[in-house]
Amino acid sequence: MDMNPNTSIQLADPDDQDNNPSTTTHFNELVAARLSRRQVIKSGVGAMAVAGLGSLSATDAEAQPILPNSGFPPRSARPTIVLDFEPVAKSIADAVQVAAGYTATVIYATGDSLDPLVPAYAGDGSEANYARRAGDHHDGINYFGLHPTVDVRDPNGTQRALLAMNHENISGTAQFLHPQGETNLSSSAGPRPEDQVIKEIDAHGVSVVEIRKVGGQFATHKPSRYNRRVTGRTVMDIAGPVRNTAFVKTPYSPTGLTCRGTLNNCGHGVTPWGTYLAAEENWAGYFVRNVGDDLNRSQRENTQLLRNGLRSGAAGFAARRWSSVVPADPASTEYSRFNISVTGATATDDFRNEHNTFGYIVEIDPYSPLSRPKKRTAMGRRANEGAWSSLPKPGRPLAFYIGCDSQNEYVYKYVTAERWNPIDARRGGLAVGDKYLDRGTIYAAVFNADGTGVWEPLTMANPKIAAGVPVSAQNPEGYQFADLADICVNTRLAGTAVRSTRMDRPEWTAVNPAHGEIYITMTENPN
Whole-angstrom Cα distance, residue 26 to residue 338? 34
**Does position 57 have pLDDT exceeding 50, yes or no?**
no
Distance of CA 260 to the CA centre of its chain: 16
**Does position 72 have pLDDT exceeding 80, yes or no?**
no
pLDDT at 452: 86
**Does position 232 have pLDDT exceeding 70, yes or no?**
yes
pLDDT tier at 451, thresholds 50, 70, 90 = confident
What is the rounded average pLDDT for all residues in the chain? 89
Could you tell me if 494 and 461 are in contact, meaning their C-beta atoms sit under 8 angstroms apart? no
pLDDT at 78: 63
pLDDT at 326: 97
Give the Å distances, CA to CA, from 177 to 5, 114, 199, 227, 343: 14, 17, 8, 22, 32
The lowest-confidence range among 92-101, 324-333, 347-356 is 92-101
Q: Region 406-429: what's the mean pLDDT?
A: 97
Q: Region 62-86: what's the mean pLDDT?
A: 58
pLDDT tier at 76, thresholds 50, 70, 90 = low
pLDDT for 266-302, tens place per residue? 999 999 999 999 999 999 999 999 999 999 999 999 9
pLDDT at 75: 59
pLDDT tier at 34, thresholds 50, 70, 90 = confident
Whole-angstrom Cα distance, residue 40 to residue 405? 26
Length of the chain: 527
pTM: 0.91
pLDDT at 69: 43
Could you tell me if 505 and 519 are in contact, meaning their C-beta atoms sit under 8 angstroms apart? no
pLDDT at 353: 98
The 3-state secondary structure of 176-207 reads HHCCCCCCCCCCCCCCCCHHHHHHHHHCCEEE
**Does position 422 have pLDDT exceeding 90, yes or no?**
yes
Q: Region 27-51: what's the mean pLDDT?
A: 60
pLDDT tier at 67, thresholds 50, 70, 90 = very low
**Does position 52 have pLDDT exceeding 60, yes or no?**
no
Give exposure, 156-169, as e/b (b: 16+ Cβ within 10 Å). Answer: ebeebbbbbbbbbb
What letter represents residue 123's amino acid?
G
What letter represents residue 282's amino acid?
N
pLDDT at 47: 38
**Does position 14 have pLDDT exceeding 90, yes or no?**
no
pLDDT for 309-321, tens place per residue? 999 987 777 789 9
pLDDT at 46: 41
Q: Is 401 exposed, middle or buried, given 0-12, 13-18 or 19+ CB atoms closer than 10 A?
A: buried
Residue of 390, 109, 413, 406 lying closest to 270 (CA atoms): 390
pLDDT tier at 48, thresholds 50, 70, 90 = very low
The lowest-confidence range among 6-10, 167-171, 388-392 is 6-10
pLDDT at 68: 42
pLDDT at 473: 85
Q: Region 208-235: what's the mean pLDDT?
A: 96
Q: Region 191-207: what's the mean pLDDT?
A: 98
**Does position 402 have pLDDT exceeding 60, yes or no?**
yes
The lowest-confidence range among 9-18, 51-60, 404-413, 465-474 is 51-60
Query: Is the dihedral angle over the CA atoms 49, 412, 203, 187 positive or is it negative?
Result: negative
pLDDT at 73: 55
Could you tell me if 314 and 289 are in contact, meaning their C-beta atoms sit under 8 angstroms apart? yes
Q: Is 426 exposed, middle or buried, given 0-12, 13-18 or 19+ CB atoms closer than 10 A?
A: exposed
Spatial neighbors of 328 by CB under 8 A, at least 6 apart, are 194
Whole-angstrom Cα distance, residue 241 to residue 440? 10
pLDDT at 39: 59
Q: Region 485-489: what's the mean pLDDT?
A: 98
Q: Region 364-386: what's the mean pLDDT?
A: 97
Whole-angstrom Cα distance, residue 158 to residue 162? 11
